[in-house]
Amino acid sequence: IAPNTVLEFFKLIEKINLPAGVINYVCGHGATVGNSLSSNSKTGIVSLTGSVFAGQKVMEAAALNITKVSLELGGKAPAIVCADADLELAATA
């Protein structure tokens, strides 16, 4: 489901006419596509939502070029809870 959500987001992004290459959406198997992107010296930042193992592989590949990495690992499903939120509902949701 997650790749489809991002694809829909990118369809919206296309409508604002950013210059080519400013933002890119690439899908593929991590061992092939992810490693190539993570270890490429032209990559400015890698963001991954996935398993701890996948995060370790991304960090390992990105370390070669000291590429910035943002990881959300282990299925913790983070959420931003605002000060005026119903905390009981936020905790159960």
Q: Annotated catalytic sites, by residue?
A: 72
Look at residues 50, 45, 51 and name the one whose alpha carbon lies nearest to residue 24. 45
CA distances from 46 to 6, 29, 40, 54, 63 (A): 15, 15, 10, 12, 11
